[in-house]
A and B are shown apart, each in its own frame.
Chain A
Amino acid sequence: MIYLQLFLSYLKIGFFGFGGGYAMLSLIQNEMVTRHGWMTATELADIVAVSQMTPGPIAINCATYVGYTVTGNIWGSLLTTLAVSLPPLTLMVLITVFYTRLKNNRYMQGAMKWMKPMICGMIGAAALLFVNGATFIDWKSYAIFLVCFLATWFKVDSILMICLSAVAGILLYV
């Protein structure tokens, strides 16, 4: 029952998705690529690129796209998008209700302090998993990586960099 598995996987991704889109990416990789083998790391990298270039939050874009890719139809997309929207609609509602009590809560701050290096590691893992023979095919890919890294480091817009690297890809590889 792939729909149920997909829904449960995405529910996990949503409820443990601390630290935003890129950190969630490592959870998505772990569930979709490592654990279930529903897609390859390269396919996921392409999805991330498309999610970045289209409007809306990356996490939502990515969920919708992954749902479609895994099941091949709209229902998969609906399920994953619903699953990733559930933590905000439940947990975040509770947090809002108890806002005044949680605002300067030392336990919450203590937990967040130690979750930060974990979240950081998750983002690092997301980048590392894409480093493989399918991404770095020859010296030209290393050159594209280097240019994009420097450009992003100096705060050049990321959508622009994806568009330029697409053009570079067409010029270098067709």
Chain B
Amino acid sequence: MKTLLQLFWAFFKIGAFTFGSGYAMIPMIEKEVVDKRKWFDKDDFYDQFALASSAPGPFALNTAVFVGYKLKGWWGSLFAVLGAVIPSFVIILIIAIYLTEFRDNRYVGAAFKGIRPAVIALIAVPFINMLKRLPWYFMVLGCAVAAVICYLGVSPIWFIIAGAAIGLILTYRSKP
């Protein structure tokens, strides 16, 4: 029980004090899980993290799952995930409730007019950075996928399925 509560608390802190995407949380998780609690050694942690980042769903939760599982099995995973989710859930819920009321406020409205173009920039930069690291034919494919999803309204799910299928077929046909 003590370990379960420690797991919950470790991920509660991570959920309450880190901002941004799951990747941004990795240093904080590493500090808590590897340096402070010694639950993992560093290489082991990064090996498992590599796998966690290729699974669907939020990174932070996938990381919580493998850390929790190693210590206390399924219950460990559950406690770690709850710890990571609860702070965000409570904080954002309070904001959602109040912001819906204040959205018509003159100043809040003006602030959001400034924020919206900024949000596009924040998404465009990682897109270009990721694109840059791909071979040219994947660059073309990436841009085409973006245009088809956005302008034709095709669900991204089909592209994920197609990508996985092509990858599996090509691997099957190539010699090991």
Contacts and interface: CB of A to CB of B under 8 A. Distances in A.
A32 interface: no
Contacts, number: 379
Q: Which of A21, A57, A60 has the most CB of B within 10 A?
A: A57
A57 to B, nearest CB: 4
Given A56-B88, A121-B149, A92 B110 contact: no
B1 interface: no
Interface residues of B, number: 100
Q: How large is the interface on A (under 10, 10 to 19, 20 to 34, 35 or more residues)?
A: 35 or more
Interface string B70-85: 1000100110010011
Contact of B113 (A141, A153, A158): A141
Interface string B14-26: 0111111111010
Interface of B: 15-23, 25, 47-48, 51-62, 64-66, 69-70, 74, 77-78, 81, 84-85, 87-89, 91-93, 95-97, 99-100, 103, 106-107, 109-127, 130-131, 134, 138-139, 141-151, 153, 155-157, 159-160, 162-164, 166-168, 170-172, 176
Given A115-B167, A166-B115, 13 more contacts: A26-B149, A49-B116, A49-B118, A56-B16, A68-B100, A85-B81, A92-B57, A92-B61, A95-B52, A111-B167, A124-B146, A131-B120, A142-B117
Closest 9 CB pairs of A and B: A169-B114, A121-B145, A56-B88, A124-B146, A110-B171, A114-B167, A87-B57, A148-B121, A165-B118
